[in-house]
Amino acid sequence: MEGIILGNRYELIEKIGGGGMAVVYKARCRLLNRYVAVKILRLEFTNDEEFIKRFQVEAQSAASLSHPNIVSIYDVGQQENIHYIVMEFIEGITLKEYIAKKKCLSWRETVNIAEQICSAIEHAHSKNIIHRDIKPHNIMLTSDGIAKVTDFGIARAVSSSTITMVGSTIGSVHYFSPEQARGGYVDEKSDLYSLGITMYEMATGKLPFNGESPVAVALMHLQETPVQPMELNPDIPKGLNDIIMKAITKEQDKRYQTATQMLEDLQRVREEPDGSFVKIESQEDAPTKRISAINDEQLAGKDDNLSKKSSAKNKPKKSKYKERIAMALAIFTGFIIIAVTGVLTYYFMVGEINAKQTAKMPDFTNRNYEKIKDQIKKDFDVVEIRTYREDIAKDFIYQQDPKPGTPYKVNGYTQLKLYISNGPEMVRVPNLTNKTMREAEVEFKNLGFEMEVKEEFSDKIEKGRVTRTDPEAGTMVKAGSIITVYQSKGPEIKKTIVPDLSGMTESEAKNALQEARLKLGNMYPKDKSSRVDRVESQKPEAGEEVDENTAVDIWFSEAEQVKRHEIVETISLKDPQDYGKSIKVRVDVRPSDTNETETVYEEIVTKQSFPLRVRIPIPEDGGTLVTVYFNDKLVNSFWRE
């Protein structure tokens, strides 16, 4: 059936599994552009009303469940003779495959998986739904170790109809309960028995009962006691062993009565693995009692009683008078019985007539289910079927079965299916910051989002990667929404105007360029310029608009050069405790030949950099005034010739 499109929406891609009733396909939802699993009833059963009914019950039961350990149901449909259910697609393997791969799970991993399954069963039971087929084949394990219960194909709401029909017992023989084997009453404790068998297999790698035929295995469930798990695997602690053995007790009233009770013991065994906290109640019908020994007098009394009974047999028969009295009493009693029976029959008939009174089914559509559900449940056996609907507000009923106006028994057991909207399907926007556009595209495609790309500058995010989304990450939005994804263009390159450096010294030109967010490039003539030389020309020219951080080359006028020599002056740090880890150091000089102040050193340094060596220009026939600043505060001033 690969390639078929169901409901103008679900494109079947490949077969991924199957069971006795249905085949499961991996499919792509063309509307939300995501992968789903589609379960299709086998074609040989489409004419069998009983199988179709069970298949529909699966959808109705599972659709009302919402739990992280239960596979979600998205949609239900029928196309010609194809009946199908659309559900969550799980990337993983079955618990049965996982057990076969590992042979035997550790006791802690067994408890972890069992807790998740038990939590799912607890939720289903709270909705009056019994799974009836808990087994490793129906448990999916995701890649991150999450267990999800699937296949509610034989689940039924708890009601008087939970008696399994003899000759058509449903379930997997290695895992089903004794009451399922004998065709008896199935309730919540039956699911817990199957979970116990599953835990037994996880912890030991073996099944407690195995035979040559299904009938042989079923008889073992009814008659035989399994080997204690800790005898097969000594690593199993006493607490876990006791939980498993209590869960698979043959008598229903001696097992865990609720999933909540079992879940509490599973949580406790983590802290007390060898504890004796599991309580197995004993309910003997004839408990042993202590009595005293029979003495000779009691034996003699017994002989006297026997003699009296023997002599009574030899007494003459009753007189005819007494016989007539007995006959009259018997006739009178008979009349009394007939009269009472008649009265009771009358009242039962009246009750039956009342029970058969009919009324027309009310119209519940377009009403908020949460506001009227308590009243509806008093009169009907309600089956909730919830689906996502774009056009209908959350919790409103959009369809019902039986339809409005259909006759129904007033005092009878009437099932009412209500189709309730969950509102539009909401999906959380993922955090895509710093991911590539390809990664964002794949993630959005899997979630069913449409992507609109815009660009923006970013000093932090590499060019080509995602900076943010609108709506922002974590926001819940409708499935299929258009999300704006912002792509980084890298740091924004800003423009600046080149200042006029004419007539400036090297130091002055450098400061002017820094203020304009530019940097000093090459200086000409190379290795011949002096600190007192003046700029004659520059490139780029003054007034040009260039990118920030552009290098500006300058040419000095050699005609203005004066004769100087340089000395090296040592700058020391006194009282280092008065300063932080780093210090801004500036050294200014004022040579006597120009009498103009210029900066020859300006840096931020650490304390470990001291002492500093600074070159000081000295005129041939004069001297230079040197001033030293730490953090823009004058710390020293001296004259050098």
Alpha helix (H) ranges present in 187-247?
A: 188-204, 214-223, 229-232, 238-247
Give the angle subtended at the CA of 293 by the CAs of 287 and 298, to the nearest 5°: 115
**Which of 20-29, 424-433, 621-630 is the most confident on average?**
621-630
Can you tell me the distance from the alpha carbon of 181 to that of 125, in angstroms, rounded to the nearest whole number?
A: 21
Can you tell me the mean pLDDT for 309-326? 49
Residue 270: pLDDT band with limits 50, 70, 90? confident
Q: Where are the beta strands (DSSP E) in 291-380?
A: 358-360
List C-alpha distances in Å: 57 to 38, 51, 114, 269. Answer: 16, 10, 26, 36
Confidence band (pLDDT; 50, 70, 90) for 313? Answer: very low
Q: What angle do CA 32, 34, 40 make, to 5 degrees?
A: 100
Average per-residue pLDDT for the chain:
82
- State residue 606's pLDDT score: 92
Q: In the block, which residue shows the tokens 């999450």?
A: 146
Indicate whether 29 pLDDT > 50: yes
Q: 611: cis peptide before it, omega within 30°?
A: yes
Q: 434: which 2 tokens?
A: 């710093």
The DSSP annotation for 548-596 comes to TT-EEEEEE-GGG---EEEEEEEE----GGGS-SEEEEEEEEEETTT--
Q: Where are the alpha helices (DSSP H) in 224-319?
A: 229-232, 238-247, 259-271, 296-313
pLDDT at 295 over 50: no
Q: Roughly what angle, to the nearest 10 degrees, separates helices 238-247 and 188-204?
A: 140
At 279, give phi and psi (nearest 5°): -100, 120
In the numeric block, the tokens 């599994």 are attached to 17
Q: Which residues pair with 86 in a beta bridge?
A: 38, 75
Identify the pLDDT of residue 348: 47
Residue 284 in this model has a pLDDT that exceeds 50: no
- Count Cβ atoms below 10 Å from residue 116 Cβ, excluding itself: 21
State the Cα–Cα distance between residues 167 and 183, nearest whole angstrom.
8
| Nearest residue to 178 via CA among 213, 226, 138, 124 | 226
Write out pLDDT tens, residues 68-95. Answer: 899 988 888 888 888 888 998 988 899 9
Q: Which residue has the higher pLDDT, 145 or 316?
A: 145
Out of 288-292, 380-384, 391-395, 572-576, pick the least confident: 288-292
Q: Can you tell me whether residue 82 is helix, strand or coil?
A: strand
pLDDT digits (tens, 9 = 90+) for 128-175: 888 888 999 999 998 878 899 987 655 553 333 343 433 334 447 899
Contact 262, 195 (CB under 8 A): yes
Which residue in 611, 617, 614 sits closest to 598, CA to CA?
617
404-437 pLDDT tens trace? 988 887 765 688 999 999 888 888 899 999 999 9
What gap in Å lies between CA 199 and CA 110, rounded to an integer? 7
300 to each of 236, 305, 310, how far by Cα in Å? 60, 9, 15
Distance, in Å, from the CA atom of 195 to the CA atom of 202, rounded to the nearest integer, reads 10
- Whole-number pLDDT of residue 287: 40
Element (H, E) at 514: helix 506-515
525 prior amide bond cis, ω within 30: yes
Q: Is the pLDDT of residue 554 over 80?
A: yes
Place of tokens 């774009």: 390
* pLDDT over 90 (residue 446): no
The gap from C-alpha 229 to its chain's centroid, in whole angstroms, comes to: 31
Amino acid 42: pLDDT: 81
Output the pLDDT for position 360.
Answer: 87
In single-letter form, the type of residue at position 455 comes to E
**Predicted confidence band at 289 (pLDDT cuts at 50, 70, 90)?**
very low
Catalytic residue numbers, as ranges: 133
Residue at token pair 């996880």:
202
Q: What's the chain's length in residues? A: 641
DSSP calls for 471-493: SPTT-EEETT-EEEEEEE--S--
Q: pLDDT tens digits for 388-400?
A: 888 888 899 999 9
Instruction: Measure the CA–CA gap between 547 and 392, rounded to whole angstroms.
Output: 56
- Residue 243: per-residue pLDDT: 96
* CA nearest to 626, candidates 568, 548, 544, 546: 568
Least confident of 249-258, 348-357, 495-504, 563-572: 348-357
* Model confidence band, residue 527 (pLDDT cutoffs 50, 70, 90): low
